[in-house]
Chains A and B, each alone.
Chain A
Amino acid sequence: GAVVSQHPSWVICKSGTSVKIECRSLDFQATTMFWYRQFPKQSLMLMATSNEGSKATYEQGVEKDKFLINHASLTLSTLTVTSAHPEDSSFYICSARDRGRNYGYTFGSGTRLTVV
């Protein structure tokens, strides 16, 4: 079945530094990838949608200069949290849509980011 690999699974960084999270589709081509943020005991909130080879579309209220998204290939998208602050601490999950399957959304295992 379709597999999405997300790394790292957890990361601790100092305030003011940047962190990159990778999302790879291992056995399918993902024309579109989605990045979600999940606060404790809450649902997933869409941050942005990225299409391969084009700029990401950010949801209202999400700072595009803080959360940089790159989707340079059909199998890789990255989310970089720049100048991280403690309020950026959260669980980040990516999802990739398999263009070869109808309604085929596969989620990564998530990244727990803690900014100290």
Chain B
Amino acid sequence: AQSVTQPDIHITVSEGASLELRCNYSYGATPYLFWYVQSPGQGLQLLLKYFSGDTLVQGIKGFEAEFKRSQSSFNLRKPSVHWSDAAEYFCAGGWDYGGSQGNLIFGKGTKLSVKP
């Protein structure tokens, strides 16, 4: 069965430091992949997505992610973290079924805390 794994439950970084959040997927076929951010009590905001083409994807708020097929990974990065980036981050994957796009499967999320 398809799954998306975020190995880190909680990460703390200092403001201005670089950030990398890990995401791995499992299943034979390559999924389309997403990163979302959620602030407390809020819905999900799309940061970026990958479904084909260039494996380095640029998103909003200075985030980028790189798809690596050999590692089944889609890690999220940001060169310099701002205090406002503190939130919960979810990686999600979706798989095509006979040409139809199915629902998204979410990782458990990584909570990002930012130290001043």
Contacts and interface: CB of A to CB of B under 8 A. Distances in A.
A112 interface: yes
Given A34-B103, A112-B41, A43 B108 contact: yes
Nearest to A111: B43
Nearest to A105: B104
B49 A107 contact: no
Contact of A109 (B32, B43, B49, B104): B43
A49 interface: yes
A107 B32 contact: no
Chain B facing A: main interface SS: strand
Nearest to B44: A107
Contacts of A49: 103
B36 interface: yes
Contact of A42 (B36, B43, B49, B108): B108
Contact of B104 (A34, A41, A108, A110): A34
A46 B41 contact: no
